[in-house]
Structure 1
């Protein structure tokens, strides 16, 4: 008993040929690169690509400017911190110098007082 869908070789071959022919007609009827519609679509794609490139360049320029600003701020902060450290070091050195000068002045004052007493004692004995 034969099935109604049991095609013979010739029918299958004919169906395959028809399918190939339909594919060829489909691709043959596709728009060519020289068609005005295709030219418009290609131009639109190129415009989109150019706009994308421009936006990317703008983003990169903004990033570079932001990085430069951050570097400049960091350099300014480092310079300010260095100046503050230098000022603190100078203040400490000035304080040390002041103490040293006071100690030297006190020693000179004590020596002068001791010399005065020594001279007064000598003057009383003589």
Structure 2
């Protein structure tokens, strides 16, 4: 026989209440005896969390510094490339101006030579 005695509703309710009060008293005694260890664990966790946060902030600072350094290097490279491009453009324009000046001078010299030949021809007695 599994249940030798007859469990009425009142018996079951009283057994449940006794079990509940036993659990509650066990919890209270466990929490009061475990209080110093719990506080120590809590303070250790807070210390670990603070150290973790400090390491995270340091990582973010390093990342930010690295990003700023890379941005500065990129700006320097861009400025150097712009200066080189500007110098190349100015050199190309100067060469073009010199070529144009030579062409104009050559044209003027040819015209002057032509005018001189024409004048000599006109000056010859016919």
Specify the alignment match of 2:73 in structure 1.
Answer: 73
Specify the alignment match of 1:44 in structure 2.
Answer: 44
Alpha-carbon distance in structure 2 between the residues aligned to 1:89 and 1:49? 59
What are the Cα deviations for residues 53-103 of structure 1, in whole angstroms up to 9, with x where unaligned? 111111110110111012112211221221122122112211210111111
Q: 1:13 to 1:121 in 2, by over 3 A?
A: same
Query: Counterpart of 1:31 in 2: which secondary structure?
Result: helix
Unpaired runs of at least 5, structure 2: none
Specify the alignment match of 1:84 in structure 2.
Answer: 84
Alpha-carbon distance in structure 1 between the residues aligned to 2:121 and 2:17? 142
How far the C-alpha of 1:41 sits from its partner, in A, is: 1.3
What are the Cα deviations for residues 15-41 of structure 1, in whole angstroms up to 9, with x where unaligned? 211221122112211334x94323321
Specify the alignment match of 2:95 in structure 1.
Answer: 95
How far the C-alpha of 1:51 sits from its partner, in A, is: 0.5
Unpaired runs of at least 5, structure 1: none
Alpha-carbon distance in structure 1 between the residues aligned to 2:30 and 2:125? 136
Alpha-carbon distance in structure 2 between the residues aligned to 1:31 and 1:48? 23
Specify the alignment match of 1:13 in structure 2.
Answer: 13
Figure out how many residues of one structure are paired with residues of the other and give that number.
Answer: 124
